[in-house]
Structures are given as C-alpha cells and as structure tokens.
Structure 1
Amino acid sequence: MNIVRVFDSNVTKTPDKPFLIAGGHEHSYQQVQDGSRRAAAYLEDLGVGRGDRVALMCFNTPGFVYAMLGAWRLGAVVVPINHKMQTPEVAYVLGHAKVSVCVFDGELAPVVSRLETTAKLVSTDSAADGFDFFDDAISSVDGVDGVEIDENDPAEILYTSGTTGAPKGCVHSHRNVVGVAITAGLAVSTTRDERLLMAVPIWHASPLNNWFMSTLYMGGTVVLVREYHPVTFLETVQEQRITLCFGPPVIYTTALNMVPNFADYNLGSVRAWLYGGGPIGADVARRLVESYGTTEFRQVYGMTETGPVGTVLYPEEQLTKAGSIGKFALAGVDLRVVGDNGIDVEPEQIGEIWLRADTVMQGYLDDPEATAAAFADGDWYRTGDLARTDEDGYLFIVDRAKDMIITGGENVYSKEVEDVISGHPDVVDVAVVGKPNEEWGETVVAHVVWREPGVIDADDIKTYLSDKLARYKIPREVEFVTVLPRTPTGKIQKHLIRSAS
C-alpha cells in the first residue's frame, strides 16, 4: 500500500469533491490527480526517476501537493525543506540528500538564487525571475501514471537537527507514511467529512504525515493557509467550517491574545483542536478551554523519527493532567520508560521513552552509526526524552537528553546555534539554552563570553545570525558573561545556566 494508490482510489469514489482549498480556489480530487500526473511527466522530463530525490521548499500552497504526488508517481523520494531556512542551511540539505530537483515558491528566490548546487531549481510561481515556472510547465505536458511503488521503497526524507548540529535525514518508507496516516486517523476518528485546516507549515512531520495524510487517506478536504496569521486563522475556521486543526499551542494562544474580537468568531464547527511541540500547563489549558468554549483539545506527542506518532492526551484529561503527554501509546505503538540499566523504571522514577511501531523510520540517511545508536533491543527507538509516570500512569517529560529546545513547535538544537555564534570574531565562548515561556513553550537564550566587554551587543549577534540561521533559531535574548560554568573535565554546566536565565 502507498499513498498514491490510496489517493487514486479516492478519486474514483469522489472525483468532484474538493481535496484542496487554497486562496479561495477549490481543487477537486480529479483535478489534483490530473495535475500530479502532469507534474510527474514534467519531473520525468527533468530526469527524475525511481529513487531520485525531489526537494520541496514551499509555503502551504497547492504546488507542494502537486509536486509531492507527482514525484511519488515516479518512485522518487520527497525531501520537504523548511521555507524559513537561509541559504547555507538549504545548501546542506540539498547536498546531503543529493537532490536532483528543488521545487520552491517564488517568494523564496532571494535564498534560492544564492545556492551553489547541481540540483535543478524550479519555481511554483512567476514571482521568481530566471527560473522555470512549475505551473506553466505542467500545464503543457501530458500526464503519466508513473511506476509501481513497493511499500518498502523510501517515500520521504524528513530532516531534523542532530545533537552535533548537523541535520539528520529521517528516511520513511511508503509503508511508514500509510501507517502514520492510519494511526493518526484512528486517534481522532477521522472521517470522509473532515475539513482539515493546514495553518502551520505543511513540510513539518506532524502536519504532513499525521494530519494531511490521514485526511487524504479518508477522502477528506484540506484547507491550505499560506502562512499563519491569527485573524486569517480565525476567519478560515469560521468561513470554511473547519473540523480539525493542528499546531503548536502558540497558534491558539496568539489568536486569543492578539485578536480583540476573538469572541465574535464562530468556531463551533471544530470537533478537535490538536496541538503538539510541547505540553501546556494547567493555567493555559484552562484558559483555552474557557475561551474556545470546548474541552476538545488533544495533545499529541511524537517525533520525526517515529512518523511522528507516540501518545495522546485526550480532552477529558486536559485539565486534570495538564502538562502530561498522555497515558497510553497510540494504536499499533508500543512504549517503555527505560532506565540506564535497560530495565523499565517504576512510577515516579525518571527514564528514557522508547517507542516501537511500524511507523518508525528506516534509519538516518547515510549515517549507519547514528541509526544504530538510535535503536536498542532491536527495533525500539530511543527518543532521548526523559520522563516519569505518575501514580495514575500518565507520562510527564522532565528533560531532553539532547538539549533540544522547542519554541513555538519548532525544534532547535543548542549546539547548532552555538556553532554558528562561535564563528563571530568577538565571541570567545557560548552556551545556548531554552527558557520557559508560557506562550512559546520555550525561547532561545544565548549566554555569550565576549572578547572584550562592550565590544558587541545583542543586536550585533542577532544581525550576524540573520542570514545564517532560520529566524526561529535566533536567540530572543543574548546575555553577556565573563565566563561560563564548567565541570572539572571542561563540560559546560547547562543546568546552572538554565537556572540563571
């Protein structure tokens, strides 16, 4: 089984039903099928075939979907790229994944035009001068059905930052992707009548695999919003009669905090408000339940490597177990909390979460050592998240073994940011930590040892990083110190830095 076959099956059942809605335009299942076949023909003309990698660097636009399905029809592997990345970050992904073709939105031309790459670069719209225009190209070719796809063939490479600072590519098969769609769909009882709002970036693992794919699998409708804005978010929910919505908690709190007439919007069509990227506290949970007028919030936990699937905190548990990631793993997922000795820990003891499921990645691209280190006892994936269970069996994450910061649903690894800041000529030493924030979950804070006091300030650091890192990775706060606390062996004592932030 593969997603293309599932999609084509839905076309035969409801060809005229809207599959995508974007910018006021509807794209029926039949239209998307026809367009994806033409996209396949165009990509084939560019030399794309089975196993080749096609990168997609787009906002939430139909072009992303057409190109993705078109690439899969050829047996190619899709590589979604964060559209917030700067040129050096994009160049790394294109090179590491050996990308043949990169399809990007024209607005991103300033970043793409500075790339030195062998990949063919194609714009989805006419906003980018000097590049081939994807929409024009696929309108002038005859569509192709493509090739037979084995469920164990790689479908996508999803990049996630590694603890060394270099992003790792998580390779997921078609079987993995279908498995995630089924698992996520079961978790929220997805139906053919679903109207999913895609208000957060589609290239993220959870929006793409959990919610887009489960809606596709069931034959529902996906409403694409190019980028999140609180007013647009609320207007779309009301006007499109949205039934499912997913995002980090900050998209819900921002709409509540930034839109004065929030209470005037009719949000009653939504049957499930889904959130991930970090749990929320009791006060925030209570405020959301009261303001949105429903308890139908669900916290979903997982990571790119697992599909992402893991656990869910259900509506009836939002207030009584706020801050938990849930009690039970999702259908088809096994979960353990394991101590350093490899034995499951007792309640209230801290251990590492291990997950096992058919949705777990095949491995890290071209990195057998990292792949081997990520698994234990055969097929158990070691998440790196340290957690405890309470007396009722609910899981609470207490720390991240790999210094990951989650800010507004975006994963930031401290070493990646530290490595870039260290390149500044006036920086002697640096440590990056997460600072708890009620709205964003965490914010990025840099503690910098400068060459001379006063030689640089926070704005200098932020300006230096502006074309080297995605904006969400740039520290919100920069604190200058004369020395960083270290152990006798020279390791930075980040727990002391966090307590001082």
Structure 2
Amino acid sequence: MLSYVSGTSDQPLLYQTVGATLERAAERWPARDALIIPQQNIRWTWRQLNDEADRLARGFLSLGLKPGDRIGIWAPNRVEWVVTQFASAKAGLILVTINPAYRLSELEAALNKVAARALVLAPSFKSSNYVEMIRQLAPELGTGGARDLKLARLPHLRSLVLMGDELVPGFIAYDSLLRDADACGDLQQLATQLQPEDPINIQFTSGTTGLPKGATLTHHNIVNNGYFVARRQRFTEHDRVCIPVPLYHCFGMGMGVLGCTTHGAAMVFPGEGFDPLAVLKAVDQERCTALYGVPTMFIAELDHPEFASYDLHSLRTGIMAGAPCPVEIMKRVVAQMHMREITICMGTTEMSPITFQTEPDDTLERRVSTVGTIHPHVEAKIVDANGRVVPLGVRGELLTRGYGLMQGYWEEPQKTAEAIDQDGWMHTGDLVILDEAGYLKVVGRSKDLIIRGGENISPREIEDFLYLHPKIQEVQVFGLPDQRLGEIVAAWIKLKPEMECTVEEVQHYCRDNISHHKVPKHVSFVTDIPMTVTGKPQKHIMRKMMVERLGLQDDRAA
C-alpha cells in the first residue's frame, strides 16, 4: 500500500464568504454570546458583532477603499481586530495581517510588498509605541489631512486608522470612523458581488527560515478550514472557546474566530498577548469548554504558581498545535486541565492551515505520537527524494492539496512554483510517516535533519527522550557544523523552575539510554527558546547563536 490518503465527509464544503458566515451566525444565534474580551469589558452577542462589523465596513468604504484593496492590521488581540476581520471581508478588502512584534523595517517591507492602502493599528503594545514608530517612517504625518495621505516611504498608503477615540494628527480615530460612516455604502449590494474564491487574507509565513512570504488565502480557504477544525472538536453553540493565540495568524483568526462563527461557539480572548494567569482566570470565570494553544503555552499554564487556584473542570476539548507535544505534558493536560478530548493539529499557512487532526476519542498514545488523520476534502501523499510515493510506514516528505491551498505567494510566482508543483501539490518540507490506520507521524523537517558522519539523526527523537528528564521543561535539538563529522548534535534546554543541572548530567543521562552518536556534544541552558508565533522553534536562530558563540565555521545558510 502506498502512502496516500484523502479525507471523506458526510458534510460538503461550505460555499460562502466570510461576511455571509457572520450574517448566518447572527440569524441563527442572535442573542447568544459571540465575543468576550474581559480586559475591554466586551460581551457581545452575534447580532451585536454583526452590527459592529457592518458599521466599520461602511467606514472603510467611506475612505474610498474598493474591493480588492489591501488593508493592513497591526495590533494585538483586541475587539477592534475581530471587527476589522469581518468588516474588511464585508467590504471586499484583502486583510493583511501584520505581526505585532514587527519593527520598522519589517512593517515598511510588509506594507509596501502588498501595496496596502490603509492600516488599522493599536496605539501601542508592550514596549512598542506604534504611533511613534509610524511617525519615524512617515515624518510628514500631520502636515496635511488624514484622509488621503501621501507618504514618501509608504507611497501606496492613504489612511491610518488608530484604534480608540484619540485625535492624533495624521490618523483617523477608529471610533470616529464608526460614528461618521453609518450612511456610507450599500453593503447588501456589495455582498452580491463578492465570491468565495476571492482573496480575503494575506498571511506572512512565519516560517523557521528565510524572509516571510505573503500566502494569499480566499474566503473559501479559511471559512472551510475553520469549520472543519471546529467540527472535529464537536463544537456547538453551547461551547465557549478560550483563544490566547495571536489573531494575526490562522490559528487565531481562522481556527479560532471562523471556527467559532461557523458553529455559534463563543470566543473568549483572555488578553492582548499571552499571559498564563489571564488564561486560567478566563477559563474559570467564563466556564470555557475549549482551550487553544501551542505546547509552550500549556506548559506555562500548568507550571504557574496559582494553577491550583482555578477551576478548569468546564474544559472538554481544544487544540494543541504548532510543535510536537511532549508525552508528559499531554498527560498533565488531560489529567490536570480535564481536557480529555483535546486534539492535535498539523498544517501549513499555505493550506489555510490545517490538514491533519486527531479525533477527540483518540488514545493518548496517538495524540502524542501522531498528528491524527487527514481532514475532510484534503489529499496527502508521502514522497521520496525523487518524488515517488513511498509505501506505508516509510519516511518521506509530506505533500498536500485540496480546498485550503492558497492562491499563491503575493506577487511571487517563482516562489509559488517552488512550493506548489504542476499537479497542485504543496511541498511542505515536513518529514513524516503514514501508518496503515491513516495516522501521520512527524519525524522532523527536511532542513532540520542532522547528518553526523553520514548518519541521519532526527532531532525529534532526542527531544522526546530528553523530555523524560525530571529537571527539563523544554528542549530543542539541532545540528552544529563540524569539520570532521559534518555535523554534531547540540541541545538548548530550559529547566523547570528552581531546578539546577549540568552539561555532564545531561550527557550522562543520554549515554545510558541512547546511541552515542545522538548524545549532544554541546548543551546550553537557556531561559527562553526562540519560537515563531505558532510555536515552531526557530532552530536557525539557535544554530547561528551557537556557531557565533563557539567560533565555528558554518558553510550552511541560516
């Protein structure tokens, strides 16, 4: 049998726009909770959320924005983010989601790359003062009006919408845009022109290597992926989902917002950014039935000093995604957080994003050793270096295709062609094994494999072993250049609170249990591990730092 699977379902694909999805939720569950954001005192029903989205959509039209125009959003998790997501969709705009952590050069490159005509932004987040950063990019702000900007370094940008009601020269106050735009534009007429295949979102891939590319996604892509991710968790309008992951990524805005909208489940955003205590409070106070996060988030919640003070018995399900789940962490999530039906997901931004997910009643073993089975209406195959499909149980690269496949990287046809072949298969770069039951096991990234003296070493195998050490909280294993062997094994380790450990102790622990060539030669104890927003470890950064620290010669590009 060859390593190929296709997802079947008794539920056909939805064929509707993002705006229509919200309209239907407001019609089906008008008085039920839709959006809860404690720090902003927001508790809106589906009808209220739809009304707010309509008002903002008219506001966008009043700025002269037209269907197909790109509008950026640069903000943490706030009510305005969710409203902007739906309002831009109703106005036919393409929402460009920008990492709140971006610095000036990154912001400038992102906005110019997609020729964004407007930017919705928060005043600040953490140590970033967004208003001052924009002024550095555009010192001419405030010398003229705010409705038709002409900025030298941002030549396409015409409007800056600042969240809140403060009047700042050069910026349009978000609240005033809502107040002044009630009579602008015929949204019903516009809705008849919008198509599910229209592009609706540009997601900058947060990948572990290289410069970000703009994955262009359609209504059809993200509405359906959100729907089927939530359906596998068996969501209904009685569920309440705690979403501490960032909105600017598919995990927050797709799997989170659209998954809830297609099923009528309430969205609970515990804070602007991730705070484990805020998550615990929100789950307790709002009686959340589901919780989303990456493994590091769940670890932080479990290890919080006040963890035992909160009642989490309302939890049933949720998603852990972004990186492999250590066995011990999954055991604690099920036992201590009562998430007996938690699911594991895997995917890529280019597939909108999820392609594999475990079932709520899968065994603990399957949840930690696999990423589940294929999603409905999606195909996957595993190929060798020559592009030939391998037999079941044989390692190869994962290729996927289906309704979730992006239109392409924004104005980068060459990079699109490198990622998607002529038969429509997305080449993920993930090394995987498919078993006879259709469960997929991820064994690493093709670029992460360590080749030591001609032997292929999987970092994941060593990481899984080191997670069993009683003092280790998090670990990442990667290769370092070596003149004699080609590469050698290195590990970054974050210890559990109040724990102390030595390099020799780690190496001795390994020597007694795994092959000698897999024992890390270099071990660094760290307080933080660089991650992408989706919880993927940025091993190229760790490698670069270690190469510089050790004075090694590295011929491989980061």
Task: Tell me which interval the TM-score lies in, with the shorter structure as reference length.
Answer: 0.7 to 0.9
Could you list the runs of 5+ residues in structure 2 that have no partner in the other structure? 1-15, 125-129, 138-152, 450-458, 461-477, 479-486, 497-523, 531-536
1:396 matches 2:438:
no
- Among candidates 240, 257, 265, match of residue 286 of structure 2: 240
SS of residue matched to 2:299: helix
> Cα deviations across residues 286-344 of structure 1 (Å, max 9, x unaligned)?
23323223432211111100011111133554532354333420111111111122222
Structure 2 distance, partners of 1:438, 1:391, is 36
Map residues 281-296 of structure 1 onto 2, 5 A cutoff.
281-296=326-341
Structure 2 distance, partners of 1:177, 1:80, is 14
Note the C-alpha offset of 1:71. Answer: 1.5
- Among candidates 163, 172, 178, match of residue 124 of structure 1: 163
> Cα deviations across residues 42-96 of structure 1 (Å, max 9, x unaligned)?
2122221010001111111111122222222221111111111111111111011
Aligned to 1:482: 551
Aligned to 2:504: none
1:7 matches 2:22:
yes
Map residues 114-263 of structure 1 onto 2, 5 A cutoff.
114-115=136-137, 116-118=153-155, 119=157, 120-126=159-165, 129-130=168-169, 131-143=171-183, 144-146=185-187, 147=190, 148=192, 149-161=194-206, 165-225=210-270, 226-258=272-304, 260-263=305-308
Note the C-alpha offset of 1:193. Answer: 1.7
Q: Is the 8 A contact 1:106 1:127 kept in 2?
A: no
Note the C-alpha offset of 1:280. Answer: 1.2
Structure 1 distance, partners of 2:176, 2:47, is 19
Aligned to 1:71: 88
SS of residue matched to 2:109: helix
SS of residue matched to 2:56: helix
SS of residue matched to 1:27: strand
TM-score by length of 1: 0.80
Identity between Structure 1 and Structure 2 (%): 25
Shift in CA distance, 476/377, structure 1 to aligned 2, threshold 3 Å = closer
Q: Is the 8 A contact 1:15 1:28 kept in 2?
A: yes
Structure 2 distance, partners of 1:15, 1:323, is 39
Map residues 248-327 of structure 1 onto 2, 5 A cutoff.
248-258=294-304, 260-317=305-362, 319-321=364-366, 323-327=368-372
Note the C-alpha offset of 1:128. Answer: 8.2
- Among candidates 52, 72, 75, match of residue 35 of structure 1: 52
Note the C-alpha offset of 1:435. Answer: 4.9
TM-score by length of 2: 0.72
1:51 matches 2:88:
no
**What RMSD, in angstroms, separates the aligned Cα atoms of the two structures?**
3.1
Q: Is the 8 A contact 1:311 1:325 kept in 2?
A: no
Q: Is the 8 A contact 1:37 1:145 kept in 2?
A: no
- Among candidates 334, 339, 348, match of residue 384 of structure 2: 339
SS of residue matched to 1:354: strand
Shift in CA distance, 15/273, structure 1 to aligned 2, threshold 3 Å = closer
Structure 2 distance, partners of 1:393, 1:75, is 39
How many residues align structurally? 437
> Cα deviations across residues 164-206 of structure 1 (Å, max 9, x unaligned)?
7221111111111222122212211221222121211111112
Structure 1 distance, partners of 2:425, 2:174, is 41
Aligned to 1:111: 133
Could you list the runs of 5+ residues in structure 1 that have no partner in the other structure? 407-413, 415-430, 441-457, 466-471, 495-501
Structure 1 distance, partners of 2:215, 2:175, is 29
Q: Is the 8 A contact 2:315 2:339 kept in 1?
A: no
Note the C-alpha offset of 1:357. Answer: 1.5
Structure 1 distance, partners of 2:41, 2:206, is 35
SS of residue matched to 1:252: helix
> Cα deviations across residues 373-431 of structure 1 (Å, max 9, x unaligned)?
2123512211111112357653222221355999xxxxxxx9xxxxxxxxxxxxxxxx9
Q: Which amino acid in 2 is paired with 1:79?
A: V
Q: Is the 8 A contact 1:324 1:394 kept in 2?
A: no
SS of residue matched to 1:385: strand
Shift in CA distance, 485/54, structure 1 to aligned 2, threshold 3 Å = closer
